Amino acid sequence: MTTRRRRSERAGRAKLRSPGRPSVRRREEQRRFWAAIATGHSSEDAAVSAGVSPAVGTRWFREAGGMPASHLMPSAPPLSGRYLTFTDREQVALWRAQGLGVREIARRLARAPSTISRELRRNATTTGVYRPFDAHRHATARRARHHWRRLEAVPALGLMVAELLSQRWSPQQISRHLRRSFPEQPGMWLCPESIYQAVYQPGSALLRPTPLAPHRRSPLRTGRDHRRAQQRVERRRPGSSSRCSPSMTVPSHPRTDPNQATGRGI
């Protein structure tokens, strides 16, 4: 008795998980969210401007440690033309449902037939159905690559930074110490921002209690494990940045008697 092989096994790839409920973590929404964060908006206001609920924006900010991924930053380059867009995948699904062949679809999209054949083979479901939303989601997740930080690429540097953080050193002190200890090795240098990003990134190995602070989860002196949201000056609460009114300058203050200030009479 022969066992019929599944189509996913014949395609030579692992079984795809069921997409279930459509995810709200979409690229364009997240890019709008982090662009609003970069301009000084709170996570709730940025979520509303991106078209998602405030709870979703708060979760994005917390899970990312207050920092967007490199492909979601406002300065990130747009998607290259070598990749199929979501509109292209919608056309592929439509023409495939109409019974067109791979070569005809490739001719209409001005693509190579191997590109369309690989797209249908990799991003179709296990039942052989091609859905553009699921295909685009799988292709985007597969294209994302891990960015190796210097702390991860140089294990000795990571161990040194972790040891200094456990001794309650600040990132500024560690940065100056590395430059003095390795003056001829720029590969062992780190700026304070790189150390902060290593601490704030999700799943960081530096987020663990230290002997000098066993009750804290963050090795920083402040005890924070995520970046604090920055607000613009005009969005701050009145009196939070300065206790003096900007309209009241030093020359406009009333003059006082020096003898009265010291409490001595004439």
Query: Would the pLDDT of 154 be above 80?
Result: yes
Name which residue leads in pLDDT, 99 or 80: 99
Degrees, nearest 5: CA angle 242-243-245: 90
Element (DSSP H or E) covering residue 155: helix 155-166
- The verdict on 107 and 155 lying in the same domain is no
Give the residue from 197, 203, 224 showing the smallest Cα distance to 63.
Answer: 203
Q: What is the pLDDT of residues 190-225, one digit of tens each?
A: 999 888 888 887 767 776 666 665 655 777 877 777
Last residue of a domain, one of 113, 143, 173: 143
Q: Residue 201 belongs to what domain range?
A: 147-233
Q: Does 78 map to a domain?
A: no
Tokens 């003095």 belong to residue: 180
pLDDT at 4: 58
How many angstroms from the chain centroid is the CA of residue 18? 25
Last residue of a domain, one of 143, 177, 209: 143
pLDDT at 95: 92
Query: Would the pLDDT of 247 be above 80?
Result: no
- The verdict on 128 and 173 lying in the same domain is no
pLDDT at 64: 79
- The verdict on 173 and 114 lying in the same domain is no
Euclidean distance between CA atoms 94 and 125, whole angstroms? 16
pLDDT at 105: 92
Query: Would the pLDDT of 56 be above 90?
Result: no
- The verdict on 159 and 120 lying in the same domain is no
Name which residue leads in pLDDT, 230 or 96: 96
Q: Does 244 map to a domain?
A: no
pTM (global) more than 0.75:
no
Comparing 10-14, 68-72, 165-169, the range with the smallest average pLDDT is 10-14
pLDDT at 266: 46
The domain tally of the chain equals: 3
- The verdict on 100 and 161 lying in the same domain is no
